[in-house]
């Protein structure tokens, strides 16, 4: 390695990020949505809706849409591509946008594969977009998840690289200054460990105080996907009669941290029906009153 390359690696900050991986794919991973997994996912977010647990019910078990985050996590690997270890610590999860073309079905095998769709400059650094497609065994596209992050302080090695634009988020005609409704959601001391094992999403900053402290966090924090899934549960119960099979979209921006042994609050700021689709604008606040999720949107069949 040259002295110039050594100096680049040892310099502070995330450095320069390449766009060479735009267009490349993650591994394709197949998961069977068996009752053990789907029940565990609902239990992991303390969703007590019987539809997720009663397998004697005609039509079988319903599946919480948040399970898409588990499918994404298991397929995120790109083992033949060299990781950027210098930039990794500066990466933050910014937002997600889930589009459900139909509900997940109990017992089906879902294959998930991601693709890097964008890398472009924004004021805080480099914005990265990955799209995960989730297909049934017959090739039917069941869901798409746009998983977006920011590498803070990074620059690109060339012009922006964009394969395709992200879908536009719904725009609401009227937004209330005060919440239309508010739901308190407890986050128990063991919430991080519980969600880790039930959702099969492991990162020790969510389970081990020593690791969280070493990362500069005030304590172990709840997974962003858990916060989103719990928020979705609140909206489903308040606005969709507890029927998650009606949900067609979930998007939102991640912001403040959620600590253990606390609570979050889901608040609706707008509700409207457009062309047979009910849309709900929500936010989720942490125990300090900060937005954990901002510009959250749930869409579903009215």
Could you write out the DSSP letters of every residue in 79-110? TTS---TTTGGGEEEEEEEEEESS---TT-EE
What tens-digit pLDDT sequence spans the chain (302 residues)?
Answer: 444 444 455 667 999 999 999 999 999 999 999 999 999 999 999 999 999 999 999 989 999 999 999 999 999 999 999 889 999 889 999 999 999 999 999 999 999 999 999 999 999 999 999 999 999 999 999 999 999 999 999 999 999 999 999 999 999 999 988 999 999 999 999 999 999 999 999 999 999 999 999 988 999 999 999 999 999 999 999 999 999 999 999 999 999 999 999 999 999 999 999 999 999 999 999 999 999 999 999 999 99
Q: Which residues constitute the domain of residue 199?
A: 181-301
> Which of 207, 205, 206, 115 minimizes the C-alpha distance to 162?
115
> Which of 28, 195, 19 minimizes the C-alpha distance to 117?
19
Residue 282 inside a domain? The answer is yes
Among residues 117, 133, 162, the one where a domain terminates is 162
Q: How many residues does the chain have?
A: 302
For position 10, what pLDDT does the model report?
61
Are both 203 and 58 inside the same structural domain? no
Among residues 134, 162, 190, the one where a domain terminates is 162
In the structure encoding, which two tokens stand for residue 201, read together? 């999403």
CA distance linking residue 144 with residue 214, whole number of Å: 34
Are both 185 and 250 inside the same structural domain? yes
Are both 234 and 204 inside the same structural domain? yes
For position 89, what pLDDT does the model report?
87
Are both 144 and 7 inside the same structural domain? yes
For position 7, what pLDDT does the model report?
46
What's the CA angle centered on 219, arms 214 and 222, to 5 degrees?
115
Are both 11 and 156 inside the same structural domain? yes
Among residues 135, 162, 189, the one where a domain terminates is 162
Q: How many domains does the chain have?
A: 2
Spatial CB neighbours of 19, under 8 Å, sequence gap ≥ 6: 119, 156, 157, 158, 159, 160, 161
> Which of 301, 300, 302, 297 minimizes the C-alpha distance to 171?
297
What single DSSP character describes residue 51?
Answer: G
Residue 229 inside a domain? The answer is yes
Are both 151 and 189 inside the same structural domain? no
Asked whether 228 and 252 are in contact (CB, 8 A), the reply is yes
Are both 210 and 277 inside the same structural domain? yes
> Which of 297, 284, 173, 289 minimizes the C-alpha distance to 239?
297
CA distance linking residue 152 with residue 127, whole number of Å: 9
193: three-class secondary structure by DSSP: helix
Residue 123 inside a domain? The answer is yes
Residue 290 inside a domain? The answer is yes
For position 117, what pLDDT does the model report?
98
Residue 174 inside a domain? The answer is no
For position 5, what pLDDT does the model report?
45
Are both 7 and 155 inside the same structural domain? yes
User: How far from the centroid of its chain's Cα atoms is residue 133's Cα?
Assistant: 14
Residue 277 inside a domain? The answer is yes
Residue 147 inside a domain? The answer is yes
Are both 77 and 134 inside the same structural domain? yes
CATH number of the domain encompassing residue 222 = 3.10.129.10
In the structure encoding, which two tokens stand for residue 270, read together? 């707008």
CA distance linking residue 263 with residue 259, whole number of Å: 8
For position 105, what pLDDT does the model report?
98
């Amino acid at each position: 390695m040259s002295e110039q390359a050594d100096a680049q690696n040892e310099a502070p900050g995330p450095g320069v990020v390449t766009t060479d991986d735009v267009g490349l794919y993650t591994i394709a991973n197949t998961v069977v949505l068996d009752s053990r997994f789907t029940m565990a996912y609902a239990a992991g977010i303390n969703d007590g809706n019987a539809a997720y647990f009663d397998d004697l019910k005609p039509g079988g078990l319903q599946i919480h849409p948040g399970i898409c985050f588990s499918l994404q996590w298991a397929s995120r690997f790109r083992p033949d591509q060299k990781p950027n270890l210098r930039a990794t610590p500066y990466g933050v999860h910014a937002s997600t946008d889930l589009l459900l073309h139909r509900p997940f079905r109990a017992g089906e095998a879902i294959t998930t594969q991601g693709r890097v769709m964008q890398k472009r400059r924004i004021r805080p650094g480099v914005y990265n977009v990955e799209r995960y497609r989730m297909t049934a065994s017959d090739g039917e596209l069941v869901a798409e998840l746009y998983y977006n992050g920011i590498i803070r302080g990074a620059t690109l090695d060339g012009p922006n690289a964009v394969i395709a634009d992200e879908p536009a988020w719904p725009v609401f005609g009227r937004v209330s200054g005060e919440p239309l409704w508010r739901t308190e959601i407890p986050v128990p001391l063991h919430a991080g460990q519980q969600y880790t094992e039930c959702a099969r999403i492991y990162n020790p900053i969510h389970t081990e105080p020593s690791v969280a402290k070493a990362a500069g966090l005030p304590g172990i924090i709840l997974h962003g996907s858990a916060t989103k899934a719990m928020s979705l549960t609140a909206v489903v119960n308040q606005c969709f009669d507890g029927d998650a099979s009606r949900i067609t979209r979930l998007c939102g921006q991640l912001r403040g941290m959620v600590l253990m042994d606390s609570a979050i609050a889901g608040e609706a700021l707008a509700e409207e029906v457009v062309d047979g689709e009910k849309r709900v604008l929500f936010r989720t606040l942490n125990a300090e009153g900060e937005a954990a999720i901002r510009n959250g949107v749930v869409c579903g069949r009215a």
